[in-house]
Homo-oligomer: A and B are copies of this chain.
Amino acid sequence: MKIGIVGLGLIGGSLGLALRSHGHTVLGVSRQPHTCQRAIARGAVDDASTTLSLLNAVDVIFLCTPLAAMQATVVELVPHLAAETILTDVGSVKGWVVETIAPLWANFVGGHPMAGTAESGIEAAQQDLFVNAAYVLTPTETTPTQAIQVIEALVRPLQTRLYHCHPDDHDRAVAWISHLPVMTSASLIAACLGETDPAVLELAHALASSGFRDTSRVGGGNPELGVMMARYNQAALVGSLHAYRDTLNQLITQIEQADWRSLEALLKQTQQSRSEFL
């Protein structure tokens, strides 16, 4: 199959490597000529260009730009496409994307491959990035069945775990397990920085080990990504944050009132329930 990829970063580049390894022809578009050169050199694409007209004869296009660039990209892309071209995206928020892109192109399927690394960009692309990763498709009532089947047939051989759900259910689920953790983790780091005694802060720096490292990891990640989660998944994230604050208040009250029995019951529940997520 002839496949287009717009945006040759970590995800776009990794998709190119993986799809080419399964025999597909991949054409890539990036705004940066250097990225096009590197994508070709790394074998992530058969050819690449800075102009979207390169994609006028592909069967399927994966939109791999940042969320903020997606709408403008599709508006610019549409005049180049044949009606049967299938469009899909890899954005980490689905409600906003589906609402924005589906009216611009009927043959569109929202998608979210849940894979990543600490690095970004074409140099970080890996052929096996999607092996064992969840890949969520979010078709709606109006999504053409054939488009869904074509995308499934492309991504299943990459050894992804395929899920289907409504865009809003996707956004609420990732608010819980991906976006909320970023905000609670960032709050942990920011709160520690508020320690006013320099001796205590220095000691905290010296004594922090694996517990702090793990709990603070995602809160110390890419700030632009954090803002993007909040911006495009605002409603679901605010809902999760309110529920989290209620739980935190309950736990603070238990500790203030020395209600050790209730605290132990809560911690037993979290110990038992964590395994259901992992």
Contacts and interface: CB of A to CB of B under 8 A. Distances in A.
A150 interface: no
Interface stretch (A74-82, A122-130, A195-203): A195-203
Interface string A196-220: 0101100111111101111111111
A104 interface: no
A178 B120 CA distance: 30
B247 A181 contact: no
A154 to B, nearest CB: 20
Contacts of A183: 248, 251, 255
A88 interface: no
Given A172-B197, A177-B208, A238 B255 contact: yes
User: What is the oligomeric copy number?
Assistant: 2
Contact count band on A: 35 or more
Interface of A: 114, 133-134, 136, 161, 163, 165, 169-170, 172-174, 176-178, 180-195, 197, 199-200, 203-209, 211-224, 226-227, 230-231, 234, 237-238, 240-249, 251-252, 254-256, 258, 260, 263-264, 266-271, 273-278
10 contacts: A181-B216, A190-B266, A193-B269, A214-B217, A215-B215, A216-B277, A223-B264, A227-B267, A234-B255, A241-B255
Given A163-B207, A178-B207, A195-B243, 18 more contacts: A165-B199, A165-B203, A170-B203, A172-B195, A176-B191, A177-B211, A181-B215, A183-B255, A184-B215, A185-B215, A189-B273, A190-B269, A216-B277, A221-B271, A223-B268, A230-B260, A238-B252, A244-B248
